[in-house]
Copies of this chain bind each other. A is one copy, B any other.
């Protein structure tokens, strides 16, 4: 049961630049609060538009206990609906992906149009008002082929994000990609630990040999830990990107999002075991395979890499205080041919290994945080993005619990 006073006290105790108080990571009641305060109110990364190219194509997902269907309507627009029949609540679309001319509930065959309106409800009385029983819609925003979903009645403004990241992503033309592979793993850790794990590369050296074939550990072009050769690499690559008209400077996303283009290690082109390309057919109109990657993150649930030859999306959805689903999706050019232009194993093995390593780290982090000896610890300078994330999260929770009324304060 959500206890707003308790959350308020914990937020007061929280110290910026330190990991969160224990309860935020381990309490089931806090999981409920996270769902309501964050996942039922914020914009969430949902899927790629290219997963539902044709009218009637749909994908389903669950946000907390909310089944949702995202589909392409007859006009080619993308819409989202709560996947729950207005008759007796049954889930309508069962499959993870599918195609339907109309949405028909499997229970009693109520039929909905792709715009959510109730077309037919057999055996209902003559005076039954179908107009009052359309599917409940949810908000969607498509940004360069990436579908964001918001379950709130009135969604927050996503304009700033859209404007900031479009110049970085657009050249990779996500709209002209297709899903080469996708994989979902369940991590035995709180979703915030999954995000924190992703927001720093302080742990990379000892844990991610495959990833570090290509990835540089520094998150900023002027990282104080970066050696001279990194500065030289940055200077050389960014000069080229400037020539190509590809933006690379950090976008100003505050605590909410991050977007930047960074180079790979000298000689590395992509996330492969040898650093070579993963797909011979480059994205968009690219002819140069050496573009590093656009690293994008958006709170609360998503990070992405946009390379010259493929795109990877990561989607985080909490299942309980201690369980989190991570979906990884690899996208290549829509005309790339498997077995000719790319090989699934080569394309996916670096991040498959990295995801598994991170899942283990997050799980072990979760176990240790359950200890009575746990106290929030200090983030290192290279963990500055965790400070962004936990500040963002604390802000959302503060909005959710509000400030105590004077009477309550007196009573406390």
Binding site for B on A (CB under 8 A): 19, 26, 40, 64-67, 82-92, 94, 106-109, 121, 123-125, 128, 133, 136, 151, 196, 202-203, 205-207, 225, 361, 364-365, 367-375, 377-382
A108-B202, A206-B109, A377-B133 given as contacts; is B123 within 8 A of A368 (CB)?
Answer: no
Once the chains are docked, how many angstroms separate the CA of A275 from the CA of B220? 72
Contact across chains for B361 and A106 when beta carbons are under 8 A apart: yes
CB atoms of B124 and A369 under 8 A apart: no
- Considering the chains assembled together, what is the distance between the CA atoms of A336 and B189 in angstroms? 44
Copies in the complex: 3
Q: Which of A67, A94, A225 has the most CB of B within 10 A?
A: A67
Determine the distance from Cα of A40 to Cα of B373 in the docked complex, in whole angstroms: 11
A84 touches B374 (CB 8 A): yes
User: If A378-B124, A378-B128 touch, does A368 touch B203 (CB 8 Å cutoff)?
Assistant: no
- A380: chain B residues within 8 A (beta carbon): 87, 108, 121, 123-125
Q: Residue A371 contacts which of B89, B372, B375 (CB distance < 8 angstroms)?
A: B89
Contact of A66 among B90, B372, B378, B381 (CB under 8 A): B372
A335 to chain B, nearest CB (A): 38
CA distance A92 to B205 in the complex (A): 17
Contact A66 B373 (CB under 8 A): yes
Contact across chains for A369 and B196 when beta carbons are under 8 A apart: no
Task: Report chain B residues within 8 Å CB of A92.
Answer: 368
Chain B residues within 8 Å of A91, by CB: 364-365, 367-368
- A368 engages B86 (CB within 8 Å): no
A375 to B89, CA, bound (A): 7
Q: What 10 A-B pairs come out closest when comparing CB atoms? A: A82-B373, A65-B370, A91-B368, A136-B373, A89-B369, A84-B368, A84-B371, A90-B365, A89-B368, A87-B377
Interchain residue pairs with CB less than 8 A apart (7): A66-B370, A67-B367, A82-B371, A88-B196, A88-B377, A124-B378, A124-B380
A364 engages B84 (CB within 8 Å): no
Q: For residue A381, which residue of chain B has the nearest CB?
A: B125
What residues on B are CB-neighbors of A85 within 8 Å? 368, 377
List, in ascending order, chain B residues with CB within 8 A of A373's CB.
66, 82, 84, 136
Cβ contacts under 8 Å, A26 to chain B = 65
Is the beta-carbon distance between B89 and A382 smaller than 8 angstroms? no
* Nearest CB of B to A198, in Å: 13
User: Across the interface, which residues of B come within 8 angstroms of A207, CB to CB?
Assistant: 106-107
- Docked-complex contact A88 and B151, CB < 8 angstroms: no
Q: Bound complex: CA of A90 vs CA of B92, how far in Å?
A: 41
Q: Closest residue of chain B to A18, judged by CB?
A: B88
Given contacts A108-B202, A373-B66, A377-B85, contact A368 B124 (CB under 8 A): no
Quick one: given A88-B377, A361-B90, are A83 and B372 in contact (CB under 8 Å)? Answer: no
Assuming the contacts A123-B225, A151-B372, A373-B84, asked whether A89 and B136 have C-beta atoms less than 8 A apart, the reply is: no
